[in-house]
Amino acid sequence: MNRIGFEWIRSRLSDDAHELRIVIDGDDLIERLAAWEARLPGAKSIAGSYAGLPPSELADGTLTSRLLRGDTIPDHPSAKTSVLYCGDCGFIGCWDMLVRVDPLPNSLRWSGFEHPHRSEDSAEYWDYSGFGPFEFDRSEYLTALDAAQVSRPSP
């Protein structure tokens, strides 16, 4: 089993904003992705260009439903959900990292990582087939998500 954590940090997009960073087995997900992407075609200057999720995602329950049940983004062509947003603008849909969240009886599995702008039909396909999957103990996952909710900064 992998271990997951969620940490609030000051956003680099705005001095008065925060973002929720995902930590897997002690490593920041964005840093893990940056190292993976650095070897992919056309990634030299853009590898790891992601931002964590804004506090508003936890405020309305959207993030919780996506991370617990694997709910997808409305009108999104993929059966996946965004776990990271664009590192330049912070908006969903611009430069996301998508993942399939599978709720299992005693765990949750993240697999099928995908960058929608570097999909198989793009000129510079980024293959994430060796990245993950990650499987998390359900009770530890819920505890980490609850802790993020309790410590959530004001949006």
* Rounded CA separation 107/44 (Å): 35
Q: What is the pLDDT of residues 82-120, one digit of tens each?
A: 889 888 877 777 888 989 888 889 999 999 999 888 878
Answer for the pair 52, 21: CB distance below 8 angstroms, yes or no: yes
Kindly give the residue spans of alpha helices, DSSP state H, lying in the chain. 29-37, 55-59, 62-69, 138-150
* Rounded CA separation 66/68 (Å): 6
Answer for the pair 125, 118: CB distance below 8 angstroms, yes or no: yes
Question: Would you say residue 28 has pLDDT above 70?
Answer: yes
**15: exposed, middle or buried (C-beta count within 10 Å: 0-12, 13-18, 19+)?**
exposed
For tokens 């959530």, name the residue.
152
Band of residue 70 on the pLDDT scale cut at 50, 70, 90: low
Rounded average pLDDT over 18-24: 92
Higher pLDDT, 90 or 38: 38
- CA-to-CA separations, 149 to 40, 61, 88, 100, 105, in angstroms, rounded: 35, 10, 25, 22, 23
Positive or negative, the CA dihedral 143, 145, 146, 152 is positive
- CA-to-CA separations, 16 to 70, 84, 108, in angstroms, rounded: 30, 19, 33
Higher pLDDT, 17 or 23: 23
Please tell me whether the peptide bond between 133 and the residue prior to it is cis, using omega within 30 degrees of 0: yes
- The confidence score (pLDDT) of residue 131 equals 96
- The confidence score (pLDDT) of residue 17 equals 82
